[in-house]
């Protein structure tokens, strides 16, 4: 007796709607799903009843019957060395895109470990999985392969066989930065990278950028050195000082650590090196950030929003059992602003480090 439905939960059920509209339950279902043709007349009656009763389909019942929860899992990294704002951008892009595809997002943190993934996937709580912050040799990768649910990685592991990955082409990003500096005439550049921990655990983007920098440098006859870099002012300062002590002719800097950019600028100022007069600087950071820095930074943004959108789109295609490419790499885009310039060659007009402090 369906009076129970109303008594128990307070929410009207599909049966209430059907009764109110004078049609069968299945008809209501078809109106909602659009999986069958329904006459204009009936459809409108049903929709009216839905509105009048304030009906919302019960997610559990729907998931049980259709074997689809319309929820995807987003596995977020919550450990040291991550770029919190960038992660947040990903997350919001993912949620927004997922909603457009009529899906919700379940937040799973990596500190629950792979077990969390298995739990939500095996229990059919989620239809598919989005994994962020993928390492080159990630423990979750074999698990994903045997999960029995579609998944998309944000980031690219060493072996992509049987997976789908989306990311900025960080190799290319590294190249682009160096090419820009080389084109301006710089002959020695340095990459101030992610924190050491990020390299140590083999995070793809850090390694790929480094490789791209090295490769482009070799190709353009530029000397390139790489240094990991923590995010606190103290460490940044030490790194920068060390860098210029060791390589006095260093004139170009690639900073791939948004959180450290401000500290790098401060450290350079402390050394009396002006940007871009004495040293050029290109940052891998969001455009908004680059715009507000002083001077405005030549930068390559990580298109978090675009990546998140693509990742969701790929996952949806996999859920629909359409074929998708294994790897999707987005082309980096370098925007020239005020922090890069040709190096000073005329030592006579050189107003650099020595004259200040």
For DNA, the closer CB: 260 or 316:
316
Q: Which region holds residue 39: left if phi is over 0, alpha if psi is between -120 and 50, else beta?
A: beta
Q: Give the ranges where 187-346 is alpha helix by DSSP (H).
A: 196-200, 204-219, 233-246, 258-270, 287-292, 304-319
Choose the binding region for DNA from 33-41, 188-196, 235-243, 244-252 (rule: CB under 7 A).
Answer: 33-41
- Check binding of 61 to DNA (CB under 7 A): yes
Quote the strand ranges of 94-232, DSSP E.
Answer: 104-109, 128-131, 151-154, 165-168, 188-192, 223-227
Q: Which of its own copies, DNA, none does residue 35 bind to, with CB < 5 to 8 Å depending on kind?
A: DNA
- Residue 325 CB neighbour total at 10 angstroms: 11
- Check binding of 241 to DNA (CB under 7 A): no
> How many CA atoms are closer than 13 Å to the CA of 224, on its beta-carbon side?
28
Q: Which of its own copies, DNA, none does residue 197 bind to, with CB < 5 to 8 Å depending on kind?
A: none
Name the minimum Å distance from CB 127 to DNA.
13
Q: From CA 282, how far away is CA 260, in angstroms rounded?
A: 13
Q: Which of its own copies, DNA, none does residue 32 bind to, with CB < 5 to 8 Å depending on kind?
A: DNA
Both tokens assigned to 251 = 């004139």
Q: From CA 26, how far away is CA 33, in angstroms rounded?
A: 10
Q: From CA 7, how far away is CA 85, in angstroms rounded?
A: 46
For DNA, the closer CB: 122 or 158:
122
Both tokens assigned to 8 = 């128990």
Q: Which region holds residue 318: left if phi is over 0, alpha if psi is between -120 and 50, else beta?
A: alpha
Strand partners, 191: 226, 254
Question: Tokens 């920068």 belong to which residue?
Answer: 240
For its own copies, the closer CB: 112 or 326:
112
- Check binding of 357 to DNA (CB under 7 A): no
For its own copies, the closer CB: 167 or 231:
231
Strand partners, 288: none
| Rounded to 5°, angle at Cα 88 from 322 and 190 | 100
Choose the binding region for DNA from 58-66, 180-188, 215-223, 325-333 (rule: CB under 7 A).
Answer: 58-66
Q: Which of its own copies, DNA, none does residue 84 bind to, with CB < 5 to 8 Å depending on kind?
A: its own copies
Q: Which of its own copies, DNA, none does residue 78 bind to, with CB < 5 to 8 Å depending on kind?
A: its own copies
Name the minimum Å distance from CB 12 to DNA.
8
Q: Are 110 and 166 in contact (CB under 8 A)?
A: no
Chain residues in the site for its own copies (CB under 8 A)? 8-11, 54, 56-64, 67, 69, 71, 74, 78, 84-85, 87-88, 91-92, 95-96, 99, 104-109, 111-112, 116, 118-120, 122-125, 148, 232-234, 262-263, 266, 292-294
- Check binding of 57 to DNA (CB under 7 A): yes
Pairing of strands 188-192, 223-227: parallel
Among 48, 52, 65, 84, binds DNA (CB under 7 A): 65
The answer for residues whose C-beta is within 8 angstroms of residue 124's C-beta and 6 or more apart is 63, 67, 69
Among 19, 53, 58, 313, binds DNA (CB under 7 A): 58
For its own copies, the closer CB: 17 or 120:
120
- Check binding of 41 to DNA (CB under 7 A): yes
Q: Which of its own copies, DNA, none does residue 25 bind to, with CB < 5 to 8 Å depending on kind?
A: DNA
Task: Tell me which H or E stretch contains 58.
Answer: none
Residues forming contacts to DNA in the complex (CB under 7 A) are 1-2, 4-5, 8-9, 11, 13-15, 22-30, 32-33, 35-39, 41-43, 55, 57-58, 61-62, 64-66
């Amino acid at each position: 007796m369906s009076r129970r439905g109303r008594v128990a939960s307070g929410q009207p059920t599909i049966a209430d709607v059907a009764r109110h509209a004078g049609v069968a339950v299945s008809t209501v279902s078809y109106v909602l799903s659009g999986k069958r043709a329904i006459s204009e007349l009936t459809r409108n009656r049903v929709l009216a009843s839905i509105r009048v009763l304030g009906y919302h389909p019960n997610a559990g019942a729907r998931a049980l019957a259709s074997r689809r929860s319309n929820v995807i899992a987003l596995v977020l990294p919550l450990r040291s060395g991550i770029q919190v704002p960038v992660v947040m951008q990903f997350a919001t892009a993912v949620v927004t895109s997922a909603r457009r595809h009529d899906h919700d997002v379940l937040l799973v943190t990596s500190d629950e470990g792979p077990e969390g993934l298995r739990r939500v996937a095996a229990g059919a709580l989620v239809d598919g999985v989005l994994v962020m912050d993928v390492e080159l040799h990630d423990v979750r990768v074999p698990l994903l392969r045997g999960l029995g649910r579609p998944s998309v990685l944000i980031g690219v592991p060493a072996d992509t066989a049987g997976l789908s990955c989306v990311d900025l082409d960080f190799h290319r990003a590294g190249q682009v930065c160096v090419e820009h500096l080389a084109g301006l005439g710089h002959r020695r550049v340095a990459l101030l990278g992610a924190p050491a921990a990020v390299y140590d655990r083999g995070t793809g983007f850090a390694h790929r950028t480094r490789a791209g920098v090295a490769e482009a440098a070799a190709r353009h006859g530029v000397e390139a050195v790489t240094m990991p870099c923590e995010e606190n002012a103290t460490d940044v300062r030490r790194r920068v000082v060390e860098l210029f002590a060791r390589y006095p002719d260093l004139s170009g800097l690639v900073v791939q650590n948004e959180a450290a950019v401000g500290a790098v600028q401060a450290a350079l100022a402390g050394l009396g090196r002006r940007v871009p007069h004495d040293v050029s600087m290109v940052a891998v950071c969001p455009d908004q950030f680059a715009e507000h820095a002083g001077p405005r930074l030549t930068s390559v943004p990580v298109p978090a929003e675009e990546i998140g959108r693509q990742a969701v789109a790929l996952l949806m295609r996999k859920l629909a059992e359409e074929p998708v490419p294994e790897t999707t790499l987005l082309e980096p885009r370098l925007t020239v602003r005020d922090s890069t310039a040709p190096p000073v060659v005329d030592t006579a007009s050189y107003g650099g480090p020595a004259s200040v402090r």
